[in-house]
Amino acid sequence: MRYPDNFLGMEEDWAKPYDKSKVVILPAPYEGTVSYGSGTAKGPSAILEASKQVELYDEELGREFYEIGIWTEDELKAEKTPEKMVDSVYDAAKKHVNAGKFLVMLGGEHSIPTGTVKAYKERYPKLSVLHFDAHADLREEYHDTKYSHAAVMSRVREICPAVQVGIRSLSKDEADKAKNNKYDIFWAKDIHDNEKWFDKAISKLSDDVYITFDIDVFDPSIMSSTGTPEPGGLSWYLVLDFLKEVFRKKNVVGFDLVELAPIEGRHDCDFLAARLVHKVIGYKFFGKK
């Protein structure tokens, strides 16, 4: 392991070996199906670099995160086709899922969770997925592949049920598909300024939950480093308050953060992404009362 490249920059004295770590960070710098702004392949390294500036101690939870044991894997090799990348992600995820780890995958583009969800579904038969995103990602295929980032939730919904949060952009075909199938979607325009929807959204999830988090669910005023930023997004504290409730009421088994496209010379968005991963890990292990 290269300790300087650990999440949170933990040195050897603070880090734990794999068998004693509860969390595995898996970088997946893949962007084979991007359709507008590129750069997501640099997302994982930017998050890891920014995480070195995040305090081990969390002021909200009152704990230091080195206690958990956080193992950072070497990055996954980017395959030549999206189909092969999904298979590669599945193989890598399965190893850590079967070892009982809380897997945090850092993308990369949003096509990668299909493999991770498949691995988790084999271990948790009643799995559901909580999807944060500006975009519905419900196309049947895009740019001649079923494994595009724009079709990821169609593939996920073939594996297990899903609840989608923060959506504010989709095609007519996607809108018709969502309506005809009565998908559980919580639109950004209805939820951005209140918490009334929290209980209803959580009630739609099964006990075991996997979270896939596209960074563009946040409003561009705080998250501009992404390929397709959409106005009207969610705020930092609204997202955190909802996540806290999800972790308190459900067994969240894994998490991915995708679609950060770092902008050279700017660090605020990279740091936000690193801090979000930090918060998610904290809510998983220290958040339940």
Which pLDDT does position 37 carry in this prediction? 47
Which pLDDT does position 144 carry in this prediction? 75
In angstroms, rounded to a whole number, what is the distance separating the alpha carbons of residues 45 and 252? 25
Residue 52, Cβ density class (10 Å: 0-12 exposed, 13-18 middle, ≥19 buried): middle
User: What are the φ and ψ backbone dihedral angles of 139, each rounded to 5 degrees?
Assistant: -65, 150
In angstroms, rounded to a whole number, what is the distance separating the alpha carbons of residues 115 and 178? 23
Which pLDDT does position 20 carry in this prediction? 93
Residue 98, Cβ density class (10 Å: 0-12 exposed, 13-18 middle, ≥19 buried): exposed
Q: With contact defined as beta carbons under 8 Å apart, do 110 and 137 qualify?
A: yes
**Cα angle for residues 105, 111, 114 (degrees, 5° grid):** 70
Please state the pTM of the whole predicted model. 0.95
Task: Walk along the chain (289 residues) and give the pLDDT tens digit of each residue.
Answer: 444 578 999 876 677 889 999 999 999 998 755 544 467 889 999 999 999 999 999 999 999 988 899 999 999 987 778 888 899 999 999 999 999 999 999 998 888 999 999 999 999 999 999 999 999 999 998 887 898 889 999 999 999 999 999 999 999 999 999 999 999 999 999 999 999 999 999 999 999 999 999 999 999 999 999 989 999 999 999 999 999 999 999 999 999 999 999 999 999 999 999 999 999 999 999 987 5
- The half-sphere exposure of 74 on its side-chain side, counting CA atoms within 13 A, is 4
DSSP letter for 201, please: H
DSSP letter for 52, please: T
Q: With contact defined as beta carbons under 8 Å apart, do 129 and 114 qualify?
A: no
In angstroms, rounded to a whole number, what is the distance separating the alpha carbons of residues 259 and 33? 12
Query: Which domains are assigned to the chain?
Result: 3-286 (3.40.800.10)
